[in-house]
Amino acid sequence: MSVNKNKSKTAPHKAVLLLTIIDMIEVEEISSPFIQITDSLIKNFRRVWNTYVPSHSGYEPRIAYPFFHLSSSPFWELVKAPTYQGQTEYSTIKALKRDYSGAIIDVGFFRIIKDPISRKEIKTLLKSIYLDKTGGSSSLISITTIIALICAVA
């Protein structure tokens, strides 16, 4: 999973969104691989953000960024809405909702998230790679590689 870096600090947005989705799958608020852009998703994203991202980080808790940019990852596919107009960047929820009804995560990845042991491991990896106090470690294997391997085995 490629992430934006600002002065060697790893942007936390994608990791926070994935942790949010994992949490919502765990409590069965998300019950299929289709991830809708709902008020609950936005609220939970802010909750997870406030848990892991310091207020002095220099980053804003904007869910539109990671929701759109995760489409560069092999496990995330955006679903166009009938009102799709197309943009190259999405900084607001309004524009994102206008163009996309949601995203579909890889079915194998979804099944793995539903497994408590695998879910715990993925959450630990996301936190340690992207949300640790040092801003992430480039020497660690990327979460995309891990997810791709897990999905291939599933």
Enumerate the domain spans of the chain.
8-153
Q: What pTM, to 2 d.p., does this model score?
A: 0.84
Q: Please indicate whether residue 143 or residue 20 has the higher confidence score (pLDDT).
A: 20
pLDDT at residue 147, rounded to an integer = 61
pLDDT at residue 137, rounded to an integer = 46
Q: Please, are residues 71 and 103 in contact by the beta-carbon 8 Å criterion?
A: yes
Phi-psi region of 40 (alpha: psi -120 to 50; beta: other; left: phi over 0): alpha
Name the residue type at position 99. Answer: D
* 103 SS3 class: strand
Comparing CA positions, the residue from 83, 153, 144 lying closest to residue 115 is 153
Which stretches of 5-61 are DSSP H helices? 13-26, 39-52
